[in-house]
A and B are shown apart, each in its own frame.
Chain A
Amino acid sequence: MTRRRSDARAGAAHGLRIARVLLSTQYATMLEYRAEIVLWALSGVLPLIMLGVWSGAEASGGPAATGGLSAQALGRYFLSAFVVRQFTIVWVIHSFEEDTLAGRLSPYLLQPLAPVWRYVSAHLAEQVTRLPFVLAMLALVFLIHPAVAWLPSPPRLLAALVAIPMAFALRFAIQWILTMLCFWTERAAALERLMYIPYLFLSGLVAPLEAYPEGVRAFALATPFPWMVHFPAQLLAGAEVPVGRGFAALLLWTLVLVPIGWSGWKLGMRRHSALGA
């Protein structure tokens, strides 16, 4: 009994050490790519452009034109959506595709660590590299536009800081399922581009869900998409949101999709070894 407990403790310590080493090496790699990461971050300006159009609409039609959101609420929403998007960007399908084509996957498989963790840690390290730049961009916006500046209340900030990684996990799980199709087709990345379309229009990146017609909004909320952007963004912006329902949806979708991704990996591995790699 005591032995089993100490084994478990040793296992946990070992896992922690692997995580620490993985994250610190990936972080060192990402620092090399700082310039590119700044450009990637800049190419996430879509919510800020949409903020421009929506504020224009609010200025001419009042809050009625924007689903009841005031100019200030719009500013906070889209800035939050910008931040949420920055920390939930997933590109695993592209690096996985590259790794399989370059034959890097097979040596990874020899190591006593599931390759998925390598990709997860690369994403987390990239987010850390992004952080100072995102903060600088926010500071710049607040400087130009002091009227939208706000400090979320501590409980809201805490909730958002939990919801954003959960949104990242869900987004990662969705893309991981498509990534596993790489074992069967060379066009998996094209499918990811198709998946991006409902994400773009239903997640709340281009419009606050409050401005959607009732039917479309109900439909969107039944998909995983709005929980990955709209919900964490409204948490951060301090708007009225169904907090319990949001967290439940994030958790539920993740719990449904992670096992699918896991079986995809198992099936893919079987095919991979059948091909003689």
Chain B
Amino acid sequence: MGGPRGAARLLLRFWSASLAAEMEYGVNAAVELLSVLGNLAGSLFVLSLFFRHGHDLGGWSWDQALVVLGIYTLLDGLTSTLLQPNLGALVTHVQKGTLDFVLLKPVDSQFWLSLRIVSPWGLPGVAVGLVLMAVGVVRAGTPPSLPGLALALVVLVAASLLLYSLWFVLAATSIWFVKVWNATEVLRATLVAGRYPISAYPAGLRVLFTFVLPVAFLTTVPAETLLGKASAPAVLAGLLVAGLALGASRLFWIFALRFYTSASS
């Protein structure tokens, strides 16, 4: 593959080609933009309902909760930009037997399958998420120091990798179960829980969202880091979980390929 330089050059090729293909649909852009703005207005409205009579949601102020919502919106945008189109294509490759062609390419198959396509329609979500995060952090009055910002960036990248690993493992099970795509809908539907800080939930759900479905590490811990209220163990756990998940996704892919008997046999 020619090291990271070669990988970056490949990505540039992939993405410019898929963007050119998508840009043919002008109406889509308008609809996506409207949809992102409508969802933003709705989410802000629902969040405001929790602050009508009290001043906090599980110990989080309005501005702090905006950061959580921002990170959720950002990750959801990333899902639409990269995870959904690429991993959807992975399922199709298995169904149609074209996975063989991917495996024959002189490129790492997990890399190719995970990053081959980029869809611009998730980018408005990414932008709105970044704005929400910035507004929340500035208004909360605890601007992070430069090292703090760097740490928050690392935790955010870890959260994205964790999200990617969840999606990838689920999509990779299509080697055995061909119609796995509905399962990713379930994943997306349950991750909605990440719109609110984990402390807003009752104790039982908090355990579920930390240890079973790691929603806490996707939005709450990165938001805490950004706001400078994260505990060291939480940050470490976040990084560890992401690292483990990424490693597990790699091992799982190698394991799954052992069971892939290709289209002709």
Chain A interfacial positions (CB closer than 8 Å to B): 35-36, 39-40, 42-46, 49, 52-53, 55-57, 59-61, 64-65, 144, 187, 190-191, 193-194, 197-198, 200-201, 206-207, 211-213, 216
B1 within 8 A of A: no
Beyond contacts A36-B179, A57-B50: 11 other A-B pairs, Cβ-Cβ < 8 A, are: A43-B185, A45-B186, A52-B193, A52-B205, A53-B57, A53-B196, A60-B56, A65-B50, A194-B31, A197-B42, A211-B49
**Which label, helix, strand, loop or mixed, suits the secondary structure of the B interface?**
helix
Q: Could you list 20 A-B pairs, sorted by A, with CB under 8 Å?
A: A35-B179, A36-B179, A39-B182, A39-B186, A43-B182, A43-B189, A46-B189, A49-B193, A53-B57, A53-B200, A57-B200, A59-B202, A60-B56, A190-B28, A190-B31, A194-B34, A194-B38, A201-B45, A207-B46, A213-B52
Instruction: Report yes or no: B192 in contact with A201, Cβ–Cβ below 8 A.
Output: no
For B31, the closest partner residue in chain A by CB is: A190
Q: How many residues on B have C-beta within 8 angstroms of the other chain's C-beta atoms?
A: 36
- Cα A35 to Cα B173 in complex, Å, equals 15
Instruction: Report yes or no: A52 in contact with B202, Cβ–Cβ below 8 A.
Output: yes
For A202, the closest partner residue in chain B by CB is: B42
Known contacts A39-B183, A52-B201, A60-B54; is A191 also within 8 Å of B46 by CB?
no
A-B CB contacts (within 8 Å), total count: 89
For B200, the closest partner residue in chain A by CB is: A56
B18 within 8 A of A: no
- Cα A35 to Cα B179 in complex, Å, equals 9
Chain B residues within an 8 Å CB radius of A53: 50, 57, 196, 200-201
Known contacts A39-B183, A57-B200, A60-B58; is A212 also within 8 Å of B192 by CB?
no
Chain B interfacial positions (CB closer than 8 Å to A): 25, 27-28, 31, 34-35, 38-39, 42, 45-46, 49-50, 52-54, 56-58, 179, 182-183, 185-186, 188-190, 192-193, 196, 199-202, 204-205
Instruction: Report yes or no: A200 in contact with B201, Cβ–Cβ below 8 A.
Output: no
For A187, the closest partner residue in chain B by CB is: B27
Known contacts A49-B192, A207-B49, A211-B49; is A200 also within 8 Å of B200 by CB?
no
Chain B residues within an 8 Å CB radius of A61: 53-54
Chain A residues within an 8 Å CB radius of B183: 39
Chain A residues within an 8 Å CB radius of B54: 57, 60-61, 65
Instruction: Report yes or no: B31 in contact with A197, Cβ–Cβ below 8 A.
Output: no
Q: A212 touches which one: B49, B58, B193, B199 (CB < 8 A)?
A: B49
- Cα A200 to Cα B28 in complex, Å, equals 21
Instruction: Report yes or no: A45 in contact with B205, Cβ–Cβ below 8 A.
Output: no
Instruction: Report yes or no: B205 in contact with A201, Cβ–Cβ below 8 A.
Output: no
- Cα A42 to Cα B53 in complex, Å, equals 32
- Cα A137 to Cα B200 in complex, Å, equals 24
Chain A residues within an 8 Å CB radius of B192: 46, 49
- Cα A40 to Cα B181 in complex, Å, equals 11
Chain B residues within an 8 Å CB radius of A211: 49, 52
Chain A residues within an 8 Å CB radius of B199: 56
- Cα A229 to Cα B58 in complex, Å, equals 27
Chain A residues within an 8 Å CB radius of B56: 60
- Cα A142 to Cα B52 in complex, Å, equals 30
Q: A45 touches which one: B35, B49, B58, B189 (CB < 8 A)?
A: B189
Chain B residues within an 8 Å CB radius of A36: 179, 182
A144 to chain B, nearest CB (A): 8
For A144, the closest partner residue in chain B by CB is: B204
Instruction: Report yes or no: A39 in contact with B196, Cβ–Cβ below 8 A.
Output: no
B124 to chain A, nearest CB (A): 13
Instruction: Report yes or no: B185 in contact with A40, Cβ–Cβ below 8 A.
Output: yes
Chain A residues within an 8 Å CB radius of B45: 201, 216
- Cα A43 to Cα B170 in complex, Å, equals 15
For A38, the closest partner residue in chain B by CB is: B182
Chain B residues within an 8 Å CB radius of A207: 46, 49
- Cα A56 to Cα B198 in complex, Å, equals 10
- Cα A49 to Cα B46 in complex, Å, equals 13
- Cα A46 to Cα B190 in complex, Å, equals 7
- Cα A222 to Cα B57 in complex, Å, equals 30
Closest 10 CB pairs of A and B: A201-B42, A39-B182, A197-B38, A43-B189, A190-B31, A61-B54, A43-B185, A52-B205, A56-B200, A52-B201
